[in-house]
Structure 1
Amino acid sequence: MRRTLTGLIAVLIAAVVAVVATDLDEKLNLDLGAVVSEAAGAVLGEGEVTADDGVTPDGSVDVARVTTQLDGLTVKGKAPQTGYDRDEFDHWTDPDGNGCDARNDALARDLVDETVDENGCTVLTGTLATEPYTGETDRAFERGSDDLAVSLDAEHLVALQNAWISGAHAWDEDRREEFANDPANLLMVDPSENRAKGAANAAEWLPPNNAFRCRYVATQIHIKAAYDLAVTQPEKDAMIRVLDGC
């Protein structure tokens, strides 16, 4: 119930913001139902991850928009990994204040037909319609004795270690916590592919599922732009190659 009420409130707020932000001539022809539907899709993870990531509701990529974001990123070599520790990023907190941690929020967003325990937060079972990294459909999730590792991982699209060597080493702890729990940077994925990627950037690893590569790179670019993180030249070159095929 807590998650449902929070989601409903978010939908209504998003709808109002969309109406206010629309030009007057567009308001006169506005289909309020369509606005609410689009807002609901964003809350449930069925459309744009965020308003500025260059990914359209149907999953395609606005290449010109994303390329402009990419061109705005600082290009430089990787900073030293000195001092990196995953615990430097306080992850699985509750950034939106809905009473549920960010990992369970990501599960609830990405799964369908999910069940939760009596606290209304902990996701017990569900189905991932399409696992993004492999393309596998109808991937079942069931919380096991070792938590998520048996079926799905909460993946940071821009890995925490990659963020560290791209600029996060200079952040304060609040900024690192924000990054580690940002839903725009979280995705439920196959654990083996998550391990294969590790802290790699786009020049070092891309999802085996070719159909997801455009969205993967576009979202990475958006996250790096939002957090003022750098890319290496090989990383940027790899991103351009992916976008050229989108």
Structure 2
Amino acid sequence: MTISWTAYRRARRRSRQAWAILVVLAVGLVSAVCWFFTAGQFAAAEPPVTGPSDVPVLDPSWMKPVLPVRAVPEGSAAAALDTLEVKGRAANDNYDRTAFGQAWMDVDRNGCDTRNDILRRDLGGVQFTEGSRCRVAAGQFHEPYTGAVVTFTRGAESSKAVQIDHVVALGDAWQKGARQLTPQQRQNLANDPVNLIAADGPANQEKSASDAASWLPKNKAFRCHYVARQISVKAAYKLWVTPAEKDAMKRVLASCPQQRTVVPP
């Protein structure tokens, strides 16, 4: 069988095109594999940037503000940060949680303890235990530290999944000025709604007493509000920041220069 010269050229052209496509695909596959094993696996591991950009402070219809040492300065969070004293962390050898009073008191005298106040404030679809108008039994919320939707159910073990976080950890506060406060002022700091957020239990445990230099929420969409909230609390209770902490806060706020302090209504 004789093949014409035209047919032969056409066949060779198609062959070259096929090989070119295979080479492009091979290069693309190799590039994808290289990307995954260098930067891609870490990018894939990051949580999605979702969730609220902030959380409420209080609902005036049933919550009352706690009296801080001084009012939270209104305006730019970055400007408020520049008013905070900067110095090293004091020793933590004599820290005791009881220095901040009994946990979850009813400091605003609305008839409900602080933990249940914050659960009621932050959760949606709240259900109360039978016969109570305070004790939160269940609810759901867009958890700010992870960006995940979390369901709360009261129980000996299940309650641990949702904890109330001190945005400025009490251990951190103790090392940065709180030991100079009066017992009443420390009690207010521990129960101030500005300093409290319902949060994912494991994330809260991971944070422990860290400041912004050593821990930030994995949900990047929440970091500006989180840092602004820490600055607001430290300004209100005359607490200082370390140089590394201030640098970390400034880096976060550089991405949101319009971020304001968190002021109760």
**Could you say which TM-score interval applies, normalised by the shorter chain?**
0.7 to 0.9
Q: Per the alignment, do residues 131 and 241 of structure 1 end up closer, same or farther by CA in structure 2, a change over 3 Å counting?
A: same
**What residue is the counterpart of 2:139 in the other structure?**
126
The alignment's TM-score, normalised by the length of structure 2, stands at 0.68
Residue 179 of structure 1 pairs with residue 195 of structure 2: no
Shift of 1:44: 7.3
User: Could you say what the CA RMSD is over the residues aligned between the two structures, in angstroms?
Assistant: 2.2
1:51-87 CA distance string (max 9 Å, x none): 9576xxxxxxx6xx11110000000000110210112
Q: Deviation of residue 140 (structure 1)?
A: 0.5
1:146, CA displacement in angstroms? 4.0
C-alpha separation in 2, matches of 1:107 and 1:213: 21
Cα shift at 1:145:
1.6
Partner of 1:237: 247
Q: Is the Cα–Cα contact under 8 Å of residues 95 and 174 in structure 2 kept in the other structure?
A: yes
Q: Where do residues 87-102 of structure 1 align in structure 2 (5 Å cutoff)?
A: 87-90=98-101, 91-102=103-114
Please tell me the residue identity of whatever aligns with 2:59: V
Structure 1: unaligned runs, 5 residues or longer: 1-39, 55-61
Structure with more relative contact order (C-alpha pairs < 8 Å, separation 6 or more): 2
| Counterpart AA for 2:178 | A
Shift of 1:148: 2.6
Amino acid at match of 2:88: G
Q: Which has the larger radius of gyration?
A: 2
2-structure distance, mates of 1:66, 1:168:
21
- 5+ residue gaps, structure 2, are 1-55, 257-265
The answer for the alignment partner of 2:117 in structure 1 is 105
Matches within 5 A, 1:1-246: 42-43=58-59, 52=72, 65-90=76-101, 91-117=103-129, 118-128=131-141, 130-137=142-149, 139-146=150-157, 148-149=159-160, 151-246=161-256
Query: What residue identity is the alignment partner of 1:186?
Result: L
Counterpart amino acid of 2:135?
Answer: T
Q: Which amino acid aligns with 1:79?
A: A
Q: CA deviation at 1:170?
A: 1.7
Code of the aligned partner of 1:73:
L
Which digits, 9 at most, give the CA deviation of each residue in 1:77-123, with x for residues without a partner? 00110210112212200111111000100000000111112121110
The residue that corresponds to 1:5 in the other structure is: none
Name the CA distance, whole Å, in 1 between partners of 2:153 and 2:230: 28
Equivalent in the alignment of 1:3: none
* TM-score for both structures, normalised by structure 1: 0.73
Change (3 A) 1:41 1:166: closer
> 2:188 is aligned with what amino acid?
E
1:160-205 Cα deviation digits (max 9, x unpaired): 0000001111222111111101011000000111011110110000
Checking the alignment, whether the CA contact within 8 Å between 1:95 and 1:178 is kept in structure 2 is: yes
Note if contact 2:88-2:243 (Cα within 8 Å) is conserved in structure 1: yes
Percent identical residues: 45
Query: 1:142/1:186 Cα in 2 relative to 1: closer, same or farther (>3 Å)?
Result: same
Distance 1:195 1:180 in 2: 17
Counterpart position of 2:5: none
Equivalent-residue separation in structure 2 for 1:148 and 1:44 (angstroms):
26
Would the alpha carbon gap of residues 42 and 81 (structure 1) be closer, same or farther in structure 2, given more than 3 Å must change? closer
